[in-house]
Structure 1
Amino acid sequence: MSAAWRYFTISEKEARIAICKTCSADISRGGVTAKTFSTSGLLHHLKSKHPDKYAEYDEITSAQKKKVLPSTPTPSVADLFEKVKKFPSDGPKAKGITRKLMECIAMDDQPFSVVQDVGFRRLIEHIEPRYSLPSRRHLADVCLPELYNVVANHIHELLATDITAISFTTDIWSSDVSITSMLSLTAQWIDKDFKLQKILLHSQEFRGSHTAQSISLAFANMFDTWHIDRPKVHAIVSDNARNMTKAIEECNLSGIRCMAHTLQLAVNEGVLAQRSVKDLLAISRKIVGHFKHSQLAYSRIEPIQDELGVTTKRFQQDVSTRWNSTYYMLESLFAQKRTLATYSADHDLPASFTPNQWILMENILSILAPFEQLTREISSSDASVADVIPLHAALKRLLRKEVETDRGVKTMKSTLLESVNTRFADIYSDPLYCIATVLDPRYKDNYFDAGKKQSARDMIQAVLDKENPREEAAAHSTGDVTQTTDKRARLSTAEEERGQPPSLSDMFNEIMEENTTPNRLVTSSTAQQLDDYLSEVPIPRSENPLGYWRNKQDRFPDLAKVARKYLSAPCTSTDSERLFSAASHVLDEKRNRLMADKAEKLLFIKKNLPLFLNK
């Protein structure tokens, strides 16, 4: 709007007349329609009648003109053509976009055919019209190998750093939508800054019979591909399959049985294999299956849940290979006990529980709750082999305690305890477990009895002697004179009053309270380090043991080296299992004809590329 209107207003009676704010004179706007109106007559009135106002107007317009940006030059025809010209396929801009497209396909489990989808092509055309999408064949045959090689070079550089020992997990997986089987190998180690590093090395196709010899040969080829020296291989974590354990033995490597799989066998043997429990589970599966396969049944039960104030949720189906899924199924049913009773009054169910079976279900849940907590702990990304002995000790003590919920399931509980003891019988004599446990500052030697404490100490001292041969002659302590109190921990008064059964955490506290600080005679510097370390109060279980060693490596340099090696091993093969969960997304119904070598490259990129995105 013109600055002239600071001094005039439009007449309310006649739009073509402006009124001077200074003298109230009527001034014509120079036309009869809005298109022909102008401010010339208004400015002439100001200049002749109110020169001071006109001078003010002139200053305002001059200042406005100075603020106006210079006009943009009219682009040439050549510039216009350049803006619509397609990028050359080998140009840096096109290559950069294609690289990001390939990363997107690998990391987000997208099929190569996404470049043929109409919606995706329209999106790219809108974002950057000058970019030409490559074909799916170009992405699969050219871009995928290029990106794989880039990530593989990063992995080679990472493996060439200062690594004292590497631990591995392995597993075999078969696809549900194709005939492909894969053998995995994931690696993890603790770097010089005491940070846990994890990578995927292989998820290669595994053809033919899964014999121990074939698996052993595949391991050897994997290690050679990544130039991993055998002395650096600390341990390989696998399931309890005989062919896998034998293959590790044939490679002359140390093997660790997956604690989650061992717990699966123990629970199946101690609880789920009993006749009364089998009958209970059969009924549970029928009821859950009824609601899983009938949307009408769910629509009928949801109003009942709302009316009873019960959380609206679906029942969980169990999987035979995962005992904790059976626990979650029973838990979901027991939480809906009132709901199911109300539902069955008006609608048919394929089966129902007797009062005794409801009591049995509650007792089973009470028995298995610590196992569920333990499984969650060992399945975490930072769980290590050092957790096995403490968790076993706490679990064993908990199963020995008698509580009110044991009525009717004492035999089951004792059978479960026996199964747990049998399955984990060797851990207290295996250096992989014992050394890792003692060198974990959360546990130390508090989870061993007097005889096993000295044995674990001797194991560590033997490793220290091997690393420091000059001190070997004087590297033995004169004996363990640890004084262990005979006090037995009890449940807190508050818990007794509430009548709550003890938990796995209570068992950890009891064991720690029963152990006193050891006093030993020392005859070597390495033994002195071990003594000083063991004399310190353990750190809380919630803290990171690697952070402790990062801060204490200058004080305990020899122990820190051993800790860096033995704490690198996980206690489960969860990393490999999570890998194959990702594999099921890569080899799905939409990509069931994807070649195994391409599936491996996609998995390799998906798992390892995030490690280098910010570098």
Structure 2
Amino acid sequence: MSAVWTDFTISEKDPRIAICKTCNAEISRGGASAKSFSTSGLIHHLESKHPDRHSEYEKKATQKRKLTPSTPTPSVADVFEKARKFSSDSAKAKGITHKIMEFIALDDQPFSIVEDVGFRRLIDHIEPRYAMPSRRHFSDVCLPELFNIVATHVHKLLASDITAISFTTDIWSSDVSLTSMLSLTAQWIDKDFKLQKILLHSQEFRGSHTAAAISDAFTNMCDTWHIDRSKVHAIVSDNARNMTKAIEDSQLKGIRCMAHTLHLAVNEGVLSQRNVKDILTIGRRIVGHFKHSQLAYSRLQSMQDQLGTQIKRFQQDVRTRWNGTFYMLESLFAQKRVLAAYSADHELPATFTSHQWVLIENILSVLDPFEQLTKEISSFDASVADVIPLIAALKRLLSKEVETDHGVKTIKSTLLESVKRRFTESNDDPLHFIATVLDPRYKDHYLDVGIKQCAREMIQAAMDADNPLGDRPAHSAGGEQSAEKRTRHSALDEGHAPLLSDMFNEILQESAPNNRQPTSSTAQQLDGYLSEVPISRSDDPLAYWRNNHGRFPDLAKMARKYLSAPCTSTDSERLFSAAAHVLDEKRNRLHCDKAEKLLFIKKNLPLYLKK
């Protein structure tokens, strides 16, 4: 507001008139509407009638001009420059285009989004000078450019100091197009003992999925990324014969996916039982009834609300995943009262008997440890070292008799035998039991006596081979033992049903201490390491080696190799979950080469952005 209004007020009768506070004179504001009002007449009145007030006004106006920075009037050239579109090769336009390409790849967006009205309006509002390139420009120019940037970074990672590298692989077929893809994900432990994961390939896999064809694909993948075969530690896959044979033909060490083996054991031990099959058939009919009838589901919601239970849909099972069946039974059992009330007023295609409800509860009790175990082995940092301890704890839990065994004793014993048979090979495999010893959470406490001695000898031989002169300094390992000691209690002593986690404590309590006398520096390392109490299962084993590699240098080197292998092919399966988003209904005609590049960027671009 102008400083002149210190000496004037607006007339209440007529806003076109200003009244002088000094002489009460009425002065016109110079117009008939607010748009045409000015203060020129008011300033002239002060200058002619009240010179002292005019001088005061001039001082205030001058101070205000000094405090308020002047805004230069833009030139005509500046106005035209701001309205002009960026040239396609300008740095600003290239930067925006690059970010849009990242957005498409990271968020599974179709290339057609750059033609959508809403997206174009958004970009035009953010930067009017940006000219949106065509859809084809993004798919044919921007996608290969971004792929090359990320691929260059991946090559640099693979050229770094890698002791050993492990892979997961799987084959996936699209539901919306005639496309099959073969994956290869890689992971290793870097020199800072941090787990690194990348996607190397998700290439189109045409023709018959024979072992020879898969083996050739592995060879091409390794050649493309210049991977030294001598550094390949292991490759994890499912139990399919063609995949197992392909890994053998490629002269690579194969590991069977623990999750897939667990699925086979549960199917054989539980889900294939006649009385369980009957329950699953009824459960699927009930779930299907509510899934396909909106009226039935609305009635169910009303029942849930009346009974004060959580309003929740039933879980549809996936027959290729045992835990999908577990979640279906769990969701049905949680709504037992609701289903009983619903069936009293409305028709259901099938219902459970009281005996079947008891059996469902007991089946859930038997399978709950398997569900816990599946979650553990599917985590980001699960390794092959987890297999033997987890299976040892699981077998011990299944061998215990509890009250909930009523009606499922046969199922439980069959399940135990299936687990023992299917995981026998893992217990005898050096890749598994050496990794277990080198995991500071487990060490050799979960190994059988014969395997324990074999593991010590193999680790000792490997360290001596790398250090033939035995010139490493000996390290004392007694400092941490007293600080690490902790009291462990069996769940059975406390009077509650045993859990999977309780089994680990029982096994550790029974493990006898080692009293061998070390004879060399490497032997001192091994015996010193094994003499210490294992760290908590919730601790990070790689953090342990990061902090203790100076004390046990040869063991730490081996840990980088053996702990690099995952215990499941979950990374490849998650990759194909992403592939299902890339090749969806909106992009079912996307060329496979472009789908591969999009997947590669989606999985590996975050590594490049964090560098």
Same structural fold, with TM-score higher than 0.5 when normalized by the shorter chain: yes
Are 1:427 and 2:426 matched, yes or no?
Answer: yes
SS, match of residue 234 in structure 1: strand
Q: CA deviation at 1:446?
A: 1.2
Tell me the equivalent position of 1:583: 579
**2:40 & 2:589 partners in 1: Cα distance?**
79
- Is 2:462 the partner of 1:463? yes
Question: TM-score if structure 1 supplies the norm length?
Answer: 0.92
SS at match of 1:601: helix
Question: Do the aligned residues in 1 keep the contact of 2:169 with 2:183 (CA within 8 Å)?
Answer: yes
In structure 2, relative to structure 1, the CA distance for the partners of 1:11 and 1:85 (3 Å cut) is: closer
Q: How does 1:66-145 map to 2 (within 5 A)?
A: 66-76=66-76, 78-145=77-144
Say whether residues 1:540 and 2:539 are aligned partners.
no
Compared with structure 1, are the counterparts of its residues 564 and 15 closer, same or farther at alpha carbon in structure 2 (3 Å cutoff)? Answer: closer
Structure 1 residues 174, 40: closer, same or farther in 2, change over 3 A? Answer: closer
Q: Could you tell me whether the CA contact under 8 Å between 1:27 and 1:41 is conserved in 2?
A: no
SS of the residue corresponding to residue 59 of structure 2 reads: helix
Q: How does 1:520-531 map to 2 (within 5 A)?
A: 520-531=516-527
Alpha-carbon distance between aligned partners in 2 of 1:201 and 1:17, rounded to the nearest angstrom: 80
Partner secondary structure for residue 306 of structure 1 = helix
| CA spacing shift, 1:19–1:324, aligned 2, 3 Å | same
8 Å Cα contact 2:333-2:361 kept in structure 1: yes
Residue correspondence of structure 1 range 178-193 to structure 2 within 5 A: 178-193=177-192
| CA distance in 1 between partners of 2:16 and 2:78 (Å) | 47
Alpha-carbon displacement from aligned partner over 1:571-612 (angstroms, at most 9, x marks no partner): 000000000000011111111111111111111111111111
TM-superposed CA distance for 1:392, in Å, is 0.5
Report if aligned partners of 1:442, 1:545 keep a CA contact under 8 Å in 2.
Answer: yes
Which segment is superposed worse, 325-334 or 83-92?
Answer: 83-92
* CA displacement at 1:516 relative to structure 2: 4.1
How far apart, in 2, do the equivalents of 1:321 and 1:378 lie?
A: 18
- 1:280-309 CA-to-partner distances (Å, cap 9, x unmatched) read 000000000001111111100101111111
Q: Does 1:27 align with 2:25?
A: yes
* 1:412 matched residue in structure 2: 411
Shift of 1:85: 3.0
* Post-superposition offset of 1:275: 0.3
Residue 463 of structure 1 deviates from its aligned partner by 1.8
- What SS does the corresponding residue of 1:402 show, helix, strand or coil? coil
Q: What CA deviation, in whole Å up to 9, does each residue of 1:531-578 have, x standing for no partner?
A: 111111211111110001001111111000000000000000000000
Find the counterpart in structure 1 of residue 553 from structure 2. Answer: 557
Instruction: State whether structure 2 residue 607 is matched by structure 1 residue 611.
Output: yes
Shift in alpha-carbon separation, 1:492–1:32, aligned structure 2, 3 A: same
The residue number in structure 1 matching 2:484 is none
SS at match of 1:427: helix
CA positional deviation for 1:433: 0.7
> What residue identity is the alignment partner of 1:215?
I
Structure 1 unaligned blocks of 5 or more: 476-486
Cα distance, 1:510 vs structure 2: 1.5
AA partner of residue 269 (structure 1): E
Contact 2:393 2:504 in 1 (8 A): yes
Q: How do 1:387-398 residues align onto structure 2 when only pairs under 5 Å count? A: 387-398=386-397
Greater shift after overlay, 140-149 or 550-559?
Answer: 140-149
The residue matched to 2:70 in structure 1 has which SS? coil
CA distance in 2, matches of 1:267, 1:124: 52
User: In 2, distance between residues paired with 1:72 and 1:252?
Assistant: 75
Look up the match of 1:167: 166
Which shifted more, 519-528 or 256-265?
Answer: 519-528
Residue aligning to 1:225: 224
Q: How many angstroms apart in 2 are the aligned matches of 1:543 and 1:317?
A: 35
**Does the 8 A contact of 1:30 with 1:38 survive in 2?**
no
- Distance in 2 between residues matched to 1:42 and 1:273, nearest whole Å: 98
Indicate the residue corresponding to 1:505 in structure 2.
Answer: 501
Structure 1 distance, partners of 2:256, 2:136, is: 42
Give 1:568's aligned residue: 564
Count of residues in correspondence between the two structures? 595
Asked if the contact 2:162–2:188 (Cα under 8 Å) also holds between the matched residues in 1, the reply is yes
Give the CA deviation at 1:94: 2.6
How far is the alpha carbon of 1:501 from its aligned partner?
A: 2.2
Map of 1:73-472 to 2, 5 A cutoff?
A: 73-76=73-76, 78-471=77-470
Separation of aligned partners in 2, 1:549 and 1:488: 24
Mapped contact 2:29–2:41 kept (Cα < 8 A): no
SS in 2 for 1:426: helix
- Aligned mates of 1:432, 1:143 — CA distance in 2: 43
Residues in 2 aligned to 1:40 and 1:289: alpha-carbon distance in whole angstroms: 82
| TM-aligned CA deviation for residue 7 of structure 1 | 3.8
User: In 2, distance between residues paired with 1:571 and 1:262?
Assistant: 11
1:87·1:131 contact (CA, 8 Å) conserved in 2? yes
Name the residue aligned to 1:62: 62
In the TM superposition, residue 133 of structure 1 has moved relative to its aligned partner by 2.4
Q: Distance in 1 between matches of 2:414 and 2:424?
A: 15
Query: Does structure 2 conserve the Cα–Cα contact (< 8 Å) formed by 1:168 and 1:235?
Result: yes
Secondary structure in structure 2 of the residue aligned to 1:133: coil
Given that 1:28 and 1:41 are in contact with CA atoms closer than 8 Å, whether structure 2 keeps it comes out as no
**In structure 2, do the counterparts of structure 1 residues 209 and 558 end up closer, same or farther at CA, with 3 Å as the change threshold?**
same
Please tell me the residue identity of whatever aligns with 1:3: A
Shift of 1:456: 1.8
Percent of paired sites with the same residue: 73
1:597 pairs, out of 593, 599, 607, with 593
Check 1:290–1:31 CA distance in 2 against 1; reply closer, same or farther (3 A cut). closer
Letter in 1 for 2:64: Q
What do the CA deviations read for 1:1-48 (whole angstroms, capped 9, x no partner)? 3323334445657767766656xx422224797669876786677678
- 2:165 is aligned with what amino acid? I
Deviations along 1:220-251, one digit per CA (max 9) or x if unpaired, are 11101100011100000000011111111111
Distance 1:55 1:102 in 2: 63
| Alpha-carbon separation, structure 2, partners of 1:182 and 1:210 | 11
| Code of the aligned partner of 1:548 | Y
Secondary structure in structure 2 of the residue aligned to 1:148: helix
Moved more, 440-449 or 372-381: 440-449
- Which residue in the other structure is 1:482 paired with? none
Q: Distance in 2 between matches of 1:210 and 1:41?
A: 93
1-side partners of 2:488 and 2:62: how far apart? 94
Q: Which moved more, 1:536-545 or 1:159-168?
A: 536-545
Q: TM-score, normalised by structure 2?
A: 0.92
User: Residues 168 and 188 of structure 1 are in contact (CA less than 8 Å); yes or no, is this contact kept in structure 2?
Assistant: yes
Cα 1:16–1:505 change in 2 (3 A) is closer
SS at match of 1:145: helix
Judge conservation of contact 1:446–1:512 (CA < 8 Å) in 2: yes
Contact 1:29/1:39 (8 A) holds in 2: no
- Which letter does structure 1 place at the counterpart of 2:597? K
Return 569-578 or 27-36, whichever deviates more. Answer: 27-36
Counterparts of 2:41 and 2:264 in 1: how far apart (Å)? 100
Code of the residue aligned with 1:570 in structure 2: it is P
Which has the larger displacement, 37-46 or 208-217? Answer: 37-46
Label 1:11 to 1:253 Cα distance change in 2 as closer, same or farther (>3 A).
closer
Give distance in 2, aligned partners of 1:216 and 1:453: 34
Checking the alignment, whether the CA contact within 8 Å between 1:387 and 1:571 is kept in structure 2 is: yes
Following the alignment from structure 1 to structure 2, what is the Cα–Cα distance between the partners of residues 37 and 159? 74
- Conserved? CA contact 2:183–2:201, under 8 Å: yes
Deviation at 1:97, TM superposition (A): 2.2
Secondary structure in 1 matching 2:344: helix
Contact 1:16 1:28 in 2 (8 A): no
